[in-house]
Amino acid sequence: MKRLQLWVIMVMTGMLLSACASSSSTVRASENDYIYKGINFGEDRDVSFKQGVQDGCRTASGTYVKNHEAFNTNRSYRDGWGDGRLQCNGR
């Protein structure tokens, strides 16, 4: 019974490691992608989204920056700020 349990654990661990390796593989960026601090935020991002990413990244780094008017009225800025804050955390 213990051998079966050990085998199941080994198989599950291998599957998990395999999934992690494939999800972290390098994705080629297109020339239209917006990359900030080495993070690819996707393609065809407008100025508001880019400003939101930059402000969100600065917030994640410890300096709170947010244009509250834009955050409340501009979905692109709000999405960028949220993405920047989440993805730049620890960078």
pLDDT digits (tens, 9 = 90+) for 13-36: 555 544 444 344 445 667 889 999
Asked if residue 11 is part of any domain, the answer here is no
**Which residue from 63, 44, 58 is spatially nearest to 87, judged by alpha carbons?**
58
Asked if residue 86 is part of any domain, the answer here is yes
Asked if residue 12 is part of any domain, the answer here is no
Q: Which domain holds residue 82?
A: 33-91
Asked if residue 41 is part of any domain, the answer here is yes
Tokens of 62: 């410890």
The pLDDT tens digits of the residues spanning 37-78 come to 999 999 999 999 999 999 999 999 999 999 999 999 999 999
- Structural domain count of the chain: 1
Asked if residue 82 is part of any domain, the answer here is yes
